[in-house]
Amino acid sequence: MTALLEVTDLSKRFGGVEAVGDLNVDVSVGELLGLIGPNGAGKSTVFNLINGVTTPDSGRIKIDGADITGKAPHIVARHGIARAHQIVQPLAGLSVLENCTVGACFGRENLPIAKAREIAREVVATVGLAERMDTLAGSLTTAGKKRLELARALSARPRLLLLDEVLAGLNPTEVEAMIEIVQDIRRAGVAILMIEHVMRAIMRLSDRIVVLNLGRKLAEGRPEEVANDPKVIKAYLGDSKLLASAEGAE
């Protein structure tokens, strides 16, 4: 498969703490790569480095061959990377449609307002918010805001979508609905790099999984390989739920 995202020897320190160290990761066109690890493993820092929120100390980041290392978030977005955040922050005073229109205007294609609104309407329907299109974003439920966060990122027409715990705070029914949406996005050809603590979901969704621990890659492979890796089990303090999650996803 052709590599879309290439992360090479990426490192970042905050004072005396190594948040990410010599990380090598790639995501292929159309692939869903899971990124997991214990709390404090460096997963969110990796996302911040990729989408330009944080500048790496060393290493390179390329998207479709273009070097975006240290580029500002709006430049990264123009290269086709969008992010759905764990802590959703919709433009509360704007409607669902208006939030997504903003995403389309400032995304990869730099769309004019009329075309951006057209794209936004399509995406809002894709995530199941068509009936709430004119609803103020601030009045949505937690599940609705999660869908809106995803829709706003999708409206940017990304080639690579960074999903940061989109399942957090959802009940089991809502989790299943969101999994279906993520699967639809992937089937549409968008590559996905996904951080998630709901192990059953990430094992079910991922083509490959990269495990981080203390800022460094601990393991990489297919979900069943990772779940049975003794190093991974030890990093999760011997939590048998990791293995059970993988077995339950088969």
- What would the pLDDT profile of 173-223 be if each residue is shown by its tens digit? 999 999 999 999 999 999 999 999 888 899 999 999 999 999 999 999 999
Beta pairing partners, 25? 7
Q: Are residues 174 and 59 in the same domain?
A: yes
How does pLDDT run across 15-57, given as a tens digit for each residue?
999 999 999 999 999 999 999 998 889 999 999 999 999 999 9
Residues 168 and 49 in one domain: yes
8 Å CB contact between 94 and 103: no
* Same domain flag for 106 and 123: yes
208 Cβ partners below 8 Å, 6+ apart?
Answer: 31, 33, 34, 220, 221, 222, 223
**Rounded to an integer, what distance in angstroms lies between the CA atom of residue 227 and that of residue 229?**
6
Q: Which of 108, 137, 158 is the last residue of a domain?
A: 158
Give yes or no: residues 100 and 45 share one domain: no
The residues facing 238 across adjacent strands are none
What was the pLDDT predicted at 244? 52
Main-chain phi, psi angles of 131, to 5 degrees: -75, -10
| Rounded average pLDDT over 9-18 | 96
What predicted TM-score, i.e. pTM, was given to this entire model?
0.90
233 touches 243 (CB < 8 A)? yes
Residue that is last in its domain, among 158, 178, 205: 158
CATH code at position 200: 3.40.50.300
Instruction: Return d(Cα 163, Cα 191) in angstroms, integer.
Output: 11
Q: Which of the listed residues 113, 138, 158 is the one where a domain comes to its end? A: 158
Determine the structural domain holding residue 38 and report its residue range. Answer: 1-73+159-250
pLDDT at 156: 95
How many helices, marked H, and strands, marked E, lie in the chain?
A: 10, 10
Do 67 and 175 fall within a single domain? Answer: yes
Total number of domains in the chain: 2
Over residues 110-167, the pLDDT tens digits come to: 888 999 999 999 999 999 999 999 999 999 999 999 999 999 999 999 999 999 999 9
Please name every residue paired with 63 in a beta bridge, in sequence order, or none if there are none. Answer: 5, 66
